[in-house]
Amino acid sequence: MTKQTVGFIGLGYMGQGMAANILAKGYPLVCMAHRNRTPLEALVAKGAREVKSPREMAAQCDVIVLCVTGSPEVLAVVEGPDGIASADRKLTVIDCSTSDPSITTALAARLAQKGITLLDAPLGRTPADAAAGTLDVMVGGAEPDVAQVRPILDCFAGRVIHTGPTGTGHTMKLLNNFLSMGYAALYSEALMLGRKAGLAPETFDSVIRGGRMDCGFYQTFFRWVIERDPNAHKFAIRNGFKDMSYLAAFANAAGAANPIGAAVRNTFAQAVGAGHGEDFVPMLSDFVADANGLKE
C-alpha cells in the first residue's frame, strides 16, 4: 500500500524529531527551511525532499504537519502569500502548534470551503520525547478525519487522545500548559522563599523528589535547578508567556475569572520584559531569585 506524502513545516526543537520519525516509518517526506537549515539538511540526507514555499509543498503532499509557534505563524503559512491554501488542492493540515482555539475553529471553517481539512493536534512532553516518538498528542477533529491520519500521528506519539471536534485539542493544550507553567511559577517562587530562609535547592529537592508532589515536569525543571543542564527542558519563557496570554483571551471570551492564570502570566510577563524571553522555562527560577535579591 502506497503511503501518503507528508509535508512538515517547523523543524524546531520538537519538529525535527517528529519529522525524523515520520521519515523513518517510511512516509515520503517534504520539508522546508526557516532560519536554521541544519535539521532540514539532516532530513534531506536521509531521503526527504526540500521545497521553498508552503504552496509548493501543498502541491506535492496529501497531509501537511505544522509545528510552528502559534496562531500568527499558522495563519501565515496557511493563508499568507504562497501559503498552503493558495495551492487550491484538497489535503489535510495537522496543526501541532499551541494556538488560540477561537482562531483555529474560524480557520478550519474557511479551509473547509476550499476542501482542506484542519485538525488541531498540539503536543505534550519534550523534544527528547519527540525524538523518541513518545509525545502526547491531543487531537481535535471529526472521528473519520482523525482515523485517517492516526498512522502519521503514531509515528511520533506514545499517546494520542481524541479530544472532540476541531479546536478542542488546542483548548486542552492551553489547560495542559496552564498546569505546567503554573508549576514553573510555583517552583520558582518556592525555591526563592526557601533560599530566603536558608534552605538550599538541594534540600528542597530531597524533600519533594519521590514524594507526592514529584512529577515528570518537576524532574526536568530540577535538572536545571540542581544539575544546571541547559537542555533539560527546551521550551522558551516567551512561549510560556504566549500560551498564558492565549489562556487569558480564552477565559475572557468565556466570561470566566482566572486569577491564578493571571498570576502565572504575570510571572512570565515580568521575565520576558526583563529580557529573559529566550531562556528556557526552568531558568525562570533564576529570574525570580534575582528579582528578589538572591544572586548566585
Residue 253 has a pLDDT of 87
pLDDT band at 36 (very low <50, low <70, confident <90, very high): confident
pLDDT band at 152 (very low <50, low <70, confident <90, very high): very high
Residue 296 has a pLDDT of 60
Residue 204 has a pLDDT of 97
Q: 98-138 pLDDT, tens per residue? A: 899 989 999 999 999 999 999 999 998 888 999 999 999 99
Residue 163 has a pLDDT of 97
Residue whose C-alpha is closest to residue 201's, from 282, 274, 267, 291: 282
Q: Quick one: DSSP state of residue 236?
A: B
As a whole number, mean pLDDT of residues 18-27 equals 97
As a whole number, mean pLDDT of residues 210-219 equals 95
Q: Say which amino acid occupies 137.
A: V
User: What's the predicted TM-score (pTM) here?
Assistant: 0.88
Which residue ranges make up each domain of the chain?
6-165, 171-291
As a whole number, mean pLDDT of residues 26-50 equals 93
Query: Dihedral (C-alpha) 64, 68, 161, 153: value to the nearest 10 degrees?
Result: 40
Contact 122, 154 (CB under 8 A): no
Q: For the domain 6-165, what is the CATH code?
A: 3.40.50.720
**Residues tagged active-site:** 173
Chain-wide mean pLDDT for the chain?
95
Looking at CATH, the fold of the domain delimited by 171-291 is given as N-(1-d-carboxylethyl)-l-norvaline Dehydrogenase; domain 2 (1.10.1040)
pLDDT at 13 over 80: yes
Residue 35 has a pLDDT of 79
pLDDT at 95 over 90: yes
In degrees and rounded to multiples of 5, residue 37 shows phi and psi of -85, -10
pLDDT band at 1 (very low <50, low <70, confident <90, very high): low
Percent of the chain beyond pLDDT 90? 90
Contact 277, 180 (CB under 8 A): no
Percent of the chain beyond pLDDT 70? 99
